[in-house]
Structure 1
Amino acid sequence: MKSLAQQMSFYQRYHRSARNRLTHFFGVPMIILAVMQALALLPLGPSGLNVAHVTVLVLLTYYFLLDVPLALAMTAFFAVLLAITQHLATLSWPWALSVFGVLFVGGWIVQLVGHHFEGRKPALLDNVFQIFIAPMFLMAEVFFHFGYKPGLQRRVQELAAQSA
């Protein structure tokens, strides 16, 4: 398994523009919420669990293997999204479908606008697995902004520069 720094350096090479990264702070959560909304419609028995819960659990397990502090922050982030998803599950079918469409299509449009600013195609076109790294990358960006995890930030920048 590649280290978090290795995976983030690949992602960073496609997201150097501040405007592109800013669009991703909106687009990525929109897409995640839309997908979680759809997965929440797939129940796993009478327990109240659904496929969204299991998907988040699997993803968080992977994140904890990569970096515990970032994974803890991602746990809080996903908890909020799961709470919103539970609310969205109570909407009537037409409203739920409309919300899904706005979030999913809108999220991709916002991100593609960002890649227009960047002048580079999305990272997932070269490595589809980057779709799972995007949320962790954005959380790391928040950490970096506040001065947390400077060693990781340096390592990501070094690796990104080596491959540029």
Structure 2
Amino acid sequence: MFQPLSARLAQLFARYSDDHRHRTNQAIHVVAVPAIAWSVIALLWCLPPLITWFKPGVWSALAMFAAWCWYNRQSRALGYGMLAAFFLAAMLCRLVEQHYGLRVLGQAAVAVFVLGWAAQFIGHRLEGRRPSFLTDLVYLLVGPAWVMAKAYRQMGWRY
């Protein structure tokens, strides 16, 4: 039904997994990576649109679409999962914006971003290995897919 995982993503997952063997570091990443991804989406959501008839969130939508294109090209199944995750992240941004305003959304995004990265670096300190993205920035995209793949495996889903 789904295309197999691309050879490139399989290789990236293998390297990413090699940098994340410590159980505590893995547990930290399962929480921190989605939190950081949401915070980036929320920060982009808060950027003012350049064209007045655009609404807040346009930059975040464009970034999510670009990232989704990459995920979907690597694995259709993971692409669908990331599409759902992006949808939920956007809905959370919209709810916070609607109820509390863009300022609060931006403040929450900065706080989550800082806490998420602090947790990541603590995990890598325990691991004794540098974060993967320091060797190649593509790992900033691999991290969320790696967490999604981990969730798929827990549910017995193929990706």
* TM-score normalised per structure 1: 0.82
Give the corresponding residue for 1:131. 140
Please tell me the residue identity of whatever aligns with 1:71: G
* Residue 100 of structure 2 corresponds to residue 95 of structure 1: no
5+ long unaligned stretches in structure 2: 1-5
1:116 deviates by 1.9
* Residue 28 of structure 2 corresponds to residue 23 of structure 1: yes
Please say which of residues 123-132 and 139-148 is displaced more in the overlay.
Answer: 139-148
Figure out how many residues of one structure are paired with residues of the other and give that number: 150
Q: What does the per-residue CA deviation read over 1:95-142, in whole Å, with 9 as the maximum and x for residues that have no partner?
A: 334312210100001111211221111111111210011000110111
Q: What does the per-residue CA deviation read over 1:38-87, in whole Å, with 9 as the maximum and x for residues that have no partner?
A: 11123364243610001101111111100011111111111100111112
Do the aligned partners of 2:39 and 2:112 also contact (CA within 8 Å) in 1? Answer: yes
Q: 1:93 to 1:70 in 2, by over 3 A?
A: closer
CA distance in structure 2 between the partners assigned to 1:110 and 1:6 by the alignment: 25
5+ long unaligned stretches in structure 1: 153-164
Q: 1:72 to 1:94 in 2, by over 3 A?
A: closer
Give the corresponding residue for 2:17. 12
The root-mean-square deviation of aligned C-alpha atoms, in Å, is 2.0
* Runs of 4+, deviation exceeding 4 Å: none
CA distance in structure 2 between the partners assigned to 1:61 and 1:6 by the alignment: 19
Do the aligned partners of 2:32 and 2:117 also contact (CA within 8 Å) in 1? Answer: yes
CA distance in structure 1 between the partners assigned to 2:38 and 2:68 by the alignment: 15
* TM-score normalised per structure 2: 0.84
Do the aligned partners of 1:26 and 1:110 also contact (CA within 8 Å) in 2? Answer: no
* Residue 128 of structure 2 corresponds to residue 119 of structure 1: yes
Q: 1:8 to 1:86 in 2, by over 3 A?
A: same
1:26 deviates by 1.3
